[in-house]
Amino acid sequence: MNSDKAIGLIDSGIGGFTVLKELQNYFPNENFIYLGDSANMPYGERTNEEIIKLVNEDIKFLEDRDVKFIVLACNTASSLADRLESNVRLFNIIEAGCLSVLDLKEENYIGLIATRATVHNRSYDNALKELTDEIEFISYGTPTLAQVINNQLDEINLLKKNIKLAIEPIIEQHPIKHLLLGCTHYPIVSKTIKEMYTNIDLINPAIMEAKLVEDYLIKNNLSNNSNESGKTEIFITGPEKKTNKRLLNELEINYNKLKYIQ
Ligand code: DGL
């Protein structure tokens, strides 16, 4: 396989920028094609059948652009990874999320915020059980937080209210020291969450995801060995949004193309 091919990324919107950022940091010479399906988000409020149909279309979009493999940045899409159709390898961010908490063995309970679909599908609980029986997630599926971040990022009071609505139900069940951000959108507002919950450490699965991708690239001899910086193309479904460009700049993501598609 040609190692110059791009790595594909799928998210239900702009949340996956937080995964793209980690991957770009790790692999400055790789090419990336990112698809964010903002027009159809929130995936987390859809039925499993709807999510599978949309993600299969996302996969096809990237396969048509000849990517070497696909990172399912979106946790909601990853929660149904077993039921997706793909001709290339799919990286599932839930695996990375579970591996990220394994070293926290002194904790019995780790908080997990995610979309309602992700929590409902129990993929985080099942994947963690495969790895350890010493830790359990206390999860809460929030219906609104991802959407507020995707579409109303500047409305700080609304954002804080929705962060509180997502985290309080977890703390009410059990005090936690660590909170896994089980949706790509949440690391965008890490700073705000940290200001509100100073005693809780936040875990972003994207960091472990980059390590898993690195292992795979090396083992399969798929690294792009070009000396030039990689190129990144970003496709977002739906109308143009100014805040998307601003977020890309804030996250210091390099991109060569940002295209809105229908
Ligand atoms: N970004 C998606 C995730 O990681 C969720 C947002 C949505 O509901 O579309 O789960």
Distance 77 CA to ligand 1 centre (A): 8
Residue type, 109: Y
Euclidean distance between CA atoms 259 and 66, whole angstroms: 18
Whether residue 11 has pLDDT greater than 90? yes
Q: Which residues are catalytic?
A: 74, 183
Rounded CA-CA distance 22/251 in Å is 10
- Whether pLDDT at 116 is above 80: yes
Q: Rounded to whole angstroms, how far apart are CA atoms 210 and 112? A: 20
What pTM was estimated for this model as a whole? 0.95
**Average of per-residue pLDDT across 221-240:** 95
Assigned token pair, 256: 């060569």
> What average pLDDT does the segment 14-27 reach?
96
d(CA 248, CA 259): 13
Q: Ligand 1 mean position to 32 CA, how many Å?
A: 20
Instruction: State the average pLDDT over residues 110-130.
Output: 97
pLDDT of amino acid 2: 55
Hey, what are 212's tokens? 């898993």
- Torsion of the alpha carbons at 119, 84, 66 and 237, rounded to the nearest 10: -50
Answer yes or no: is pLDDT of 141 > 70: yes
Which ligand 1 atom minimizes the distance to the CA of 118? 10
For residue 74, the model assigns a pLDDT of 98
Ligand 1 atom closest to residue 16's alpha carbon, by position in its atom list: 1
Mutate to test the pocket of ligand 1, among 43, 148, 236 (most ligand atoms within 8 A of CB): 43
> Across residues 147-176, what is the average pLDDT?
95
Q: Show the tokens assigned to 2.
A: 């040609």
Structural domains of the chain, with CATH:
7-93+207-261 (3.40.50.1860), 95-205 (3.40.50.1860)
Of 2-11, 194-203, 210-219, which range is least confident?
2-11
Burial environment of residue 253 by CB neighbours within 10 A (0 to 12, 13 to 18, 19 or more): buried
Binned at pLDDT 50, 70 and 90, residue 1 comes out as low
pLDDT mean across residues, the chain: 96
Share of the chain above pLDDT 70, in %: 99
Ligand 1 is surrounded, with C-beta below 6 A, by 11-13, 15, 41-44, 74-76, 115, 118, 146, 183-185
| Residue 17 pLDDT | 97
**Three-state SS annotation for 187-212:** HHHHHHHHHHCCCCEEECCHHHHHHH
| Distance from residue 211's CA to the centre of ligand 1 (Å) | 22
Determine the atom of ligand 1 nearest the C-alpha atom of 40.
9
